[in-house]
Amino acid sequence: MLEATLLSLQTALIATIAMAVPAFLIATYLVRNNGRVAFIVDLAISMPLALPPVAVGFVLLWFFGATGPLGSFNPGIAFTWPAMSIAAGVVSLPLVVRAFTAGLAEVDPRLVFAARNLGASQLRATWDVTLPLARNGIAAGLLLGFVRSFAEFGATIVFAGNIPGSTQGLPSAMFSRISAGDFSEAWTLAAVSIVIGGIALAIHNKLVSEQRTRLAARSASDG
């Protein structure tokens, strides 16, 4: 049980770190653009939200499999623990992008423009202006991605399998216990999930609340 919990925590942490930069770049593009290309990008990124997680896992299994685009390269990722992080990251990415987009949309572009006029590079303006102003939205997005990655099951069990000691995270371990009729340990695993998820969501909601309060105060001052 401890091993499965630690593996899920490891999977969620790696997935969250790996998708932080891509999610920020995509969200930045979506905030700054409203054309047809932005619509297609948003549609493609949001697709995992509309598909059953099992379908996402099946697509990943094909993509990294012998007959997929990476077949000749044969990275051997399927049914290993990195596959768990990939599946969790793909399923969680749309939520992180949406949270990042909401946070970045609240940054006054005039402040970024002023920083650029004062000689700051795009990277420096992003680091010194955009990130501090959008920190709550970004932190909330990362927490939401972590929680979703930690709870991922459908895509993971198809792409990574349910191998005890290798790819059996907390959700798949719970599934195995329920299938075997071991409801006592299944309840224990469920309790662990509730505690970890509850703590992360509580912090997420607090950050979102602070962000809304700051936005309301800024709107009042502008008015």
Domain carrying residue 47: 2-222
For residue 44, count CB atoms less than 10 angstroms from its CB and return exposed for 0-12, middle for 13-18, buried for 19 or more.
Answer: exposed
- For the chain, the domain total comes to 1
Q: How many CB atoms lie within 10 A of CB 99?
A: 26
Q: What confidence category does residue 220 fall into, taking pLDDT thresholds of 50, 70 and 90?
A: low
For the stretch 154-207, pLDDT in tens is 999 999 999 888 889 999 999 999 998 888 888 998 998 899 888 888 887 887
Nearest residue to 96 via CA among 55, 48, 50: 48
Rounded to whole angstroms, how far apart are CA atoms 171 and 173? 5
- For the chain, the farthest-separated pair of C-alpha atoms sits apart, in whole angstroms, at 66
How many whole angstroms separate alpha carbon 135 and alpha carbon 116?
Answer: 20
Predicted TM-score (pTM) of the model is 0.84
The burial of 79, by beta-carbon neighbours within 10 Å (0-12 exposed, 13-18 middle, 19 or more buried), is given as middle
Residues 6+ apart with CB under 8 A from 61: 78, 158, 159
pLDDT confidence tier of residue 72, bands split at 50, 70 and 90 = low
Dist. CA 113–CA 44, nearest whole Å: 30
Q: What is the CATH number of the domain that holds 170?
A: 1.10.3720.10
pLDDT per position as a tens digit, 90-137: 999 999 999 899 888 888 778 888 887 877 787 888 888 888 888 888
Is 134 in contact with 112 (CB distance < 8 Å)? Answer: no
163: left (phi over 0), alpha (psi -120 to 50) or beta: beta
In this prediction, residues 65-73 reach a mean pLDDT of: 71
Q: Are 195 and 94 in contact (CB under 8 A)?
A: no
